[in-house]
Amino acid sequence: MNIEAFSRSKYKTATKPGDDVILIEPDSVLAVFDGATDPTGAFYDGESSGRIAARSAAQCTAQLALSGQLQTASSQEIFQSLSDSVRNAAVERNIAHPPSTTAAIVVTTADHYRLLALGDTGIRINGKTVYQHHKLIDTVSTAARIAVHGILSAKMGDADEAEMATRKVIFDGLDAAVETGRLTAEDVASAIAAAVAAAKTPHDVAAKFLKGGIRTQFHYANSVCDMGYASINGKDIITDGVTDILLPKAEVESIEIFSDGYVSIPADGIHASDWEREFERVEAVDFHKTGAFPAVKGSTSFESCDDRTIVCAIPPRATNA
């Protein structure tokens, strides 16, 4: 199996590690884990809670592969084991904000590849078929963030300052932004309306979340509600949006596993260089992620919008063809 892997922290100066973790056991398991950025900014012995969660899940996945459970256990059992490992790591490190991670895993069996995914980390097969779940709550946050960014950019001359101010508003919540004078009531109404239009959610549902901010998002993780979503976060998981499929080896010519720091997927090419080329194109076209490539955060002069990771593999059959 020919394997390429590339991972880059969102911090452009590389002064701090990112939250993505890669697991590679050739001809056995390939995986990418995207730990959630700790909104408090806390680090534990030089690591964020997101990175700790991602690494704990990766270590648990390796153990499950060694025992054969990745091939035979149900997706519910597998992802619950990963979630339990994150809980144990959080207790061990005394992490304040609930840590969480996504997971996208490709497991080799005798005649098939098993694709397992929870969260928005994606898998692409043969450069065409994409398996990636997008959370409704992110659509709500993104639409509101774009509206807020437009309002603040018009008031602030520095693009970096506008982006960081926008992030703070979306994190702390719209109510807090009104209290501090950052936004008016009319601004808030406009941001909520944009979110409702984009996500097609009831007004009260979107408003409740946005007024409280992303700092309250962990309450929606593994919650059965309008904007609930599956998460590997130390709790009992739900399986909404979980991928678990078997593909015959004979039908698989290439495998790509990617984190959502790549907000666009390359139309041509299945190599890490193709993903980086697409990343650079997106940065040139929509640096602030408010237009053609909307996202929960935009880029600044010192940060990309997110950590990005890609693992590309060409199986032996395809290599020998």
> Does the pLDDT at position 2 exceed 80?
yes
Res. 284 pLDDT band, cuts 50 70 90: very high
Q: What is the pLDDT of residue 319?
A: 55
Average pLDDT on 215-236 reads 94
pLDDT single digits (tens) 4-51: 999 999 999 888 889 999 999 999 999 999 999 887 778 888 889 999
% of the chain exceeding 90 in pLDDT: 90
Q: What is the pLDDT of residue 321?
A: 45
Contact present, 75 and 28 (Cβ < 8 Å): no
> Does the pLDDT at position 72 exceed 50?
yes
pLDDT single digits (tens) 120-130: 999 999 999 99
Task: Indicate the helix (H) or strand (E) that contains 256.
Answer: strand 255-258
> Does the pLDDT at position 320 exceed 70?
no
pLDDT single digits (tens) 119-157: 999 999 999 999 999 999 999 999 999 999 999 999 998
The reported pTM is 0.94
Pick the CATH number of 2-133+230-287+303-320 from 3.40.50.300, 3.40.50.620, 3.20.20.370, 3.60.40.10: 3.60.40.10
User: What is the rounded CA–CA span in Å between residue 278 and residue 285?
Assistant: 11
Contact present, 173 and 197 (Cβ < 8 Å): no
Angle at 280 between CA 279 and CA 284, to 5 degrees: 120
Average pLDDT on 72-100 reads 94
Give the residue with greater pLDDT, 38 vs 295: 295
In which residue ranges of the chain is CATH 3.60.40.10 found? 2-133+230-287+303-320
User: What is the rounded CA–CA span in Å between residue 118 and residue 229?
Assistant: 10
Angle at 199 between CA 155 and CA 239, to 5 degrees: 125
User: What is the rounded CA–CA span in Å between residue 311 and residue 155?
Assistant: 41
Q: What is the pLDDT of residue 96?
A: 80
